[in-house]
Chain A
Amino acid sequence: DIVMTQGALPNPVPSGESASITCRSSKSLVYKDGKTYLNWFLQRPGQSPQLLTYWTSTRASGVSERFSGSGSGTYFTLKISRVRAEDAGVYYCQQVREYPFTFGSGTKLEIK
């Protein structure tokens, strides 16, 4: 199975500052079609996860431009610009390059 390893954040992050979350995969997530199958989700307390980005950097419908995904191969980053209280929660990266789909262990973001 592909192992997804996420970095931690120096919580709490002051409102208005930026935060970057890292995610490493144990295998390249580039598929034969050239796309990189890495997704990011946010799970707010008591809620279901919400898709933020897919194909590494494509924002999902309705997601703020403050969220930007980047990376390639096995190293990825989700940057959140000008963090707000509503951004608090746990962020997960997920690979859908191959079965079984696997998630990172999550990175908690707290806002000050």
Chain B
Amino acid sequence: QVQLQQSGAELVKPGSSVKISCKASGYTFTSYDMHWIKQQPGNGLEWIGWIYPGNGNTKYNQKFNGKATLTADKSSSTAYMQLSSLTSEDSAVYFCARWGSSGWYFDFWGPGTMVTVSS
């Protein structure tokens, strides 16, 4: 069965960077886009971008250009998102989600990784 396992919560300082992971299992990792979504406390959902692990192609929400960098390691079936120059506005839960196999939707989601930016 498809599973997306995300790395644990992070407490990081303003101005620093953090890299969170999303390990996929139960399907061919290189054949599906992996998307990332941000959810600030008590707020809605914001789409960050996607990576196609098969060739490393990416697409970003312009709002996150320079903030988020998506990569993927085919050997470990793991997608990564690095967030840089962190501020309090980056404190949020970050989800990875697989793009659907037969339609335009997210069919499987990870449990989320909470990132807290605080000095």
A residues whose Cβ falls under 8 Å from a Cβ of B: 37, 39, 41, 48-51, 54-55, 58, 60, 92, 94, 96, 99-106
Return chain B residues, CB-CB under 8 Å to A94: 45
The answer, yes or no, to whether B100 is at the interface (CB within 8 Å) is yes
Q: A92-B44, A103-B46, A104-B44 are in contact. Are A60 and B63 (CB under 8 A)?
A: no
Assess the A100–B47 pair: CB atoms within 8 A. yes
Residue from A37, A54, A101, A104 whose CB has the most chain B CB atoms within 10 Å? A101
CB-based contact A100/B44 at 8 Å? no
**Minimum Cβ distance to chain B for residue A83 (Å):** 22
Across the interface, name the chain B residue whose C-beta is closest to A50: B109
DSSP majority for the B interface?
mixed
User: Which residues of B85-116 have CB atoms within 8 Å of chain A's CB atoms?
Assistant: 95, 97, 100, 103-107, 109-112
A103 and B107 contacting across the interface, CB-CB below 8 Å:
no
| B residues with CB within 8 A of A | 44-47, 59, 61-63, 95, 97, 100, 103-107, 109-112
A85 to chain B: closest CB distance in Å? 22
**Given contact pairs A51-B106, A99-B61, a sample of 14 additional A-B residue pairs in the complex whose CB atoms are under 8 Å apart:** A39-B105, A39-B106, A41-B106, A48-B95, A48-B97, A49-B106, A51-B100, A54-B100, A54-B103, A92-B44, A92-B45, A103-B44, A106-B44, A106-B45
